[in-house]
Amino acid sequence: MTRTIRRGAPPQRRTNSTGRRRVAKPSIGDRLLARMPVSEEGLRKAVTWTLLAGGAALALFVADLMGVPQAIGNGVAEAGARAGLRVEQVDITGLKRMDRETVYAVALEDQPSRAMLRVDLARVRERLLAYGWIADAYVARRLPDRLLIHITEREPAAVWQDNGQLTLIDASGRLLAPVDPSAMPDLPLVIGPGADQQEAGYQALLAAAPALRPRIRAASWIGNRRWDLTFDTGETLALPQDGAAQALVKFAQLDGARSLLGKGWVRFDMRDPTKLVVRKPGSEANQSLADDGKSDDAPATGNDQGKTSTTQGGETLRGEDV
């Protein structure tokens, strides 16, 4: 038996016994897209907005660089606004005491248009910083339609009273807001013309004697040169123009040793660095306080001469006690 062999005939292809077609595996990009928290349509819109905003910003930059009239740049910005690049929402964060509507009004004041690309971010920040409560401000765009504003507020440090008007001030003396007398905050009261500009020095003065700080209810700036302090027990302490902090520390030491406050005195005077002059209401006798804090009505001896002073209607502590 003979067998005929055909040369050049193509080999027979194997057929898939199961009858299934091979399915192409998704690419890495497709798998990453499927895992993203946005839909493909949302991603496409975001890319479109980004390209549109970038193109508009580039056009404005080139127009400004080449000296093209501002009207053309405004026209590009308004065209972008019609396409959706328009301020529709203002996100404000960082507020503690300020009213949100106030910040909103200050930020968008004098804006010629709501076109996002026409919003002058530097100008918005400048207007915000001119407002008393605001210490710092951050302003940014979030395309296509949101304006972001973060506020850092000033911290109130005292209430300033001048000509019957009460105003909240910060530690630098910056005026913050009027104060309603019926709703006084629990803050130190500084009184007199120019006292607001002395707030930093006043805070340093209080820091020198922390034990007395909670007991000081008011401070009057006298003659634009020195302080009179008023305590919660009603007494007034006159401090010198120079060395006020040292005088206050000395008074704190005397009060700690003798409990001077709340003992019926009306006024303490430390303007003379050699002695502490004290006064009682209606008193006309001149006395000195002994080391035990009791009144000593005995006349001054030779050893005491020069150590006690005579003040009409008052008493003095001996110089060595100061």
pLDDT tens for residues 134-144?
A: 999 999 988 78
| Tokens describing residue 250 | 């000395």
pLDDT in tens, 159-213: 999 999 999 999 999 999 999 999 999 999 999 999 999 999 999 999 999 999 9
What's the mean pLDDT in 113-128? 83
The mean per-residue pLDDT over the stretch 236-259 comes to 94
Give percent above pLDDT 90 in the chain: 41
Q: Is 255 exposed, middle or buried (0-12, 13-18, 19+ CB in 10 A)?
A: buried
Round to whole Å and give the CA distance between 117 and 113: 10
Mean pLDDT across the chain, nearest whole number? 75
Average pLDDT over residues 47-52: 58
Q: pLDDT band for 112, please (50, 70, 90 cuts).
A: low
Tokens (6 digits) for 166: 């009460």
Domain boundaries, the chain: 41-153, 156-273
Query: What is the CATH number assigned to the segment(s) 41-153?
Result: 3.10.20.310
The rounded distance, in Å, linking the Cα atoms of 81 and 192 is 53
Read off the pLDDT band of 321 (50, 70, 90): very low
- CB pairs under 8 A, 24+ apart, for 51-57? 52/80, 52/83, 52/84, 52/85, 53/80, 53/85, 53/116, 53/117, 53/143, 53/144, 56/80, 56/85, 56/117, 57/117
* Per-residue model confidence (pLDDT) at position 316: 52
Please report which confidence band the pLDDT of residue 226 belongs to, taking 50, 70 and 90 as the band edges. Answer: very high
82, containing H or E segment: helix 70-82
Q: State whether CATH 3.40.50.11690 applies to domain 156-273.
A: yes
Q: Is the pLDDT of residue 291 over 60?
A: no
DSSP H or E run through 256: helix 244-258
What pLDDT is stored for residue 43 in this prediction?
A: 54
Closest C-alpha to 91, from 81, 102, 100: 100
Strand partners, 189: 159, 218
Query: Has residue 247 got a pLDDT over 70?
Result: yes
State the chain's maximal CA–CA distance in angstroms: 161
- pLDDT of 65-100, one tens digit each? 444 444 445 555 555 555 557 777 889 999 998 888
d(CA 279, CA 287): 10
